[in-house]
Homo-oligomer: A and B are copies of this chain.
Amino acid sequence: MKTYAVIMAGGVGSRFWPQSREKSPKQLLNIFGDHTMIQDTVHRLNGLIQNENIFVITNQTQKPLIQKQIPAIPKENIIDEPFGKNTAACIGLASVIVEAKDNDAVIVTLPADHLIQDVESFQATLKKAINFAGKSDSLVTIGIKPTRPETGYGYIQIDDKSGSEDINKVLTFAEKPNLSTAKRFVESGDFLWNSGIFIWKAESILDEIKNHMPELSDGLEELKPSIGTSNFKSVLTDVYGKLKSISIDYGVMEKSQKVYLTKSDFDWSDVGSWQTVYELSHKDDDGNAVEGDVYMMKTFNTYIRGNKKFIATVGVSDLIVIDTDDAMLICDRKNSQDVKNIVDSLKLNNRKELL
């Protein structure tokens, strides 16, 4: 029984504007260090999953860039969706493609744009989950032990009387909570952060899609005969045109009775905003994290990502400053979630050159 990976790399990451653009989305940026997030995601699987068994689901715009950034992955494994239809369709598509290649496949599905630094612990957790998923028809998710009452993440409640110490049955999925609920979750000990990493047999997830998302299942059945043929693309476009845009959490995971969770305690962040990047960055004594040609005076707790231009700051605190060739963001750290609203406004105003 072989293990495969499906890396979901379709998003733009509009909270990382102006650095992230449709043509240079978050996962293709080197937000931390020298490698891009998708390169780190592939490297993190090194030794656990062979390159020829790693698939990437993306879109037409990103496909050539991804092929360039991860040349060790076979070009044909990088698959573009005709349109984004959320994670349920993406996972369904990837699963039928992998299943066509290997009927017994166990698949690790994971986002391209998360930060995990403890690779050893990450792989150890995955091994347990792969082992469990491979011997059952269960859908296994990775739960991160919460280190703070984070309101920006979804939570998963486990039945801590079930299963082993590491693998528990899932009771409920909880959306992003408010602070008091998040505090209660963390104190209870049976809520974990939803990492968005899933492990299952291709057969298991396709069965549960059939049970809970029959329309998607029908579409995938329609698609199957075309896999590996020249009319795959046109059938895929037809099928995708009819699909609803639904997340795998909402479409399957929250409904299925076969969901389990593997507890992990590796470091993890979805790197959801510039504020998160600031938090994860090395800061100087004044709490500043800076890249580029920058001069700071009376400046504190500020994140600056310079570009070609010299930037001078005086008397400011708690700012995020991102410079690019054609646009600059100046944002209070507490407002970093609002950056996506700038992108929405740019769309409304048809400022395509800035998207």
Contacts and interface: CB of A to CB of B under 8 A. Distances in A.
A312 B295 contact: no
Across the A-B interface, the 10 shortest Cβ-Cβ residue pairs = A315-B335, A315-B332, A314-B331, A310-B327, A314-B335, A313-B330, A312-B342, A314-B338, A311-B328, A312-B329
A345 interface: yes
20 contacts: A18-B310, A295-B342, A309-B326, A310-B326, A311-B327, A312-B329, A312-B330, A312-B331, A313-B331, A314-B329, A314-B332, A314-B335, A314-B338, A315-B331, A315-B332, A315-B334, A315-B335, A316-B319, A323-B328, A328-B328
Contact of A321 (B330, B339, B345): B330
A351 B18 CA distance: 28
Contacts of A339: 314
A1 interface: no
A312 B327 contact: yes
Nearest to A322: B312
A335 B315 CA distance: 6
Interface string A277-308: 00000000000000000010110000000000
Total identical chains: 2
A330 B330 contact: yes
Interface residues of A, number: 33
Interface string A192-219: 0000000000000000000000000000
A243 interface: no
A179 interface: no
A262 to B, nearest CB: 38
Contacts of A124: none
A345 to B, nearest CB: 6
A335 B300 CA distance: 14
A309 B328 contact: yes
A338 B297 contact: yes
Given A295-B342, A309-B326, 16 more contacts: A297-B338, A298-B335, A309-B328, A310-B351, A310-B354, A312-B327, A312-B331, A312-B342, A314-B329, A315-B331, A315-B334, A315-B335, A316-B330, A316-B332, A321-B330, A328-B328
Contacts of A338: 297-298, 314-315
Interface in A102-151: none
Nearest to A342: B312
A325 B332 CA distance: 24
Nearest to A353: B310
Interface string A336-355: 00110110011000010010
